[in-house]
Amino acid sequence: MVKPLEFEREIYEIEKRIEELKSIGTGVQLDIDEEIRKLERKVKRKLIKLYRELTPWQRVQVARHPNRPYTLDYVKLMMNNFVEFRGDRRFADDRSIVAGFAEFDGMSVAVVGHQKGRGTKENIERNFGMPHPEGYRKALRVMKLAEKFGIPILTFVDTPGAYPGIGAEERGQAEAIGENLYEMINLKVPIVVSVIGEGGSGGALAISVGDRILMQENAIYAVISPEGCASILWRDSAKAPLAAEALKLTAQDLLKLGVIDEVVKEPIGGAHRNHQLAANILKRAVRRNLRELLNKSIDQLLEERFEKYRNIGVFSQE
């Protein structure tokens, strides 16, 4: 049992009560059945209201929810015949990024995504979804392979950020990220990006340059973590909720700013409450976007991708 988020506690209490009632036995007494149905309606009502009014900081908690579906969950629920390719052929295999090929909507696709772990052991193995340079280089290797064989690329973004460590710097974290931006802008196949959890700065961007940027409604994406921003600008990391607000890191805000192309709905109460439904909704959005992109010539695709990034920015010139 995962610890409920602070603002979900009341709902968890009601759900616990429902479980208790169910264990007494349904169908035995009609008034218990009625009570259960009443409570279930109450949970739904409360969840709808709660999630409609989430603050940016609460969304950060949802985006980081330990039960939230990760890349490999979506691969399993959206695709068939996934084969993972490992290693960057230069230094190592970085387990915080998964890459490979699968069948999606009746065709081959390349899959690249950050991968967090469940539980301490797996999280250490996955380095909490924080890649080293070899992760980005593996991603690029597989994307280049996809380009060679004319296979569209689907990426899944979910990282607190690129790992800040000695080995990462020694092996060129900055160069690896820059190289991916430089290459992805010109990969000659359609790229659909889905931000499914945390979009942590450059470490997220390094697999996020594409033709369509989709973002789940409780995912976040920012130039720096709210905690990092708060500790620099407020000199107090406890001001993270304020930073979360200021950074405009929600899908709704980023759609308005023109940074993403589409907000993808989640099940009532967040993707962590229903993986299958979250995957079904995301799958439909990815498929629709991919089909549109497949109709474009490569010249048109690359021109539109270039223009999209070329035109981002707000400034004045008198």
Give the residues lining the site for other proteins (CB under 8 A).
162-166, 168-175, 177-179, 181-182, 185-186, 201-202, 205-206, 209, 221-224, 228-229, 232-234, 242-243, 246-249, 254, 257, 259, 306, 309-310, 312-318
Residue 146 beta carbon to other proteins: minimum distance, rounded to whole angstroms: 18
Angle at which helices 30-52 and 9-24 pack, to 10 degrees?
Answer: 160
Residue number with CB closer to other proteins (114 or 283): 114
Can you tell me the distance from the alpha carbon of 144 to that of 125, in angstroms, rounded to the nearest whole number?
26
Residue number with CB closer to other proteins (299 or 318): 318
Residue number with CB closer to other proteins (33 or 227): 227
Residue 150 beta carbon to other proteins: minimum distance, rounded to whole angstroms: 20
Residue 226 beta carbon to other proteins: minimum distance, rounded to whole angstroms: 11
Residue number with CB closer to other proteins (3 or 310): 310
**Residue 87 phi, psi dihedral angles, 5° rounding:** 90, 150
Q: Which of 65, 264, 70, 62 is nearest to 156 (CA)?
A: 70
Spacing of C-alpha 138 from chain mean position = 19
> How many angstroms separate the Cα of 121 from the Cα of each of 69, 86, 127, 156, 167?
18, 20, 10, 22, 21
Residue 260 beta carbon to other proteins: minimum distance, rounded to whole angstroms: 9
Residue 49 beta carbon to other proteins: minimum distance, rounded to whole angstroms: 27
Residue number with CB closer to other proteins (295 or 311): 311
Can you tell me the distance from the alpha carbon of 37 to that of 126, in angstroms, rounded to the nearest whole number?
41
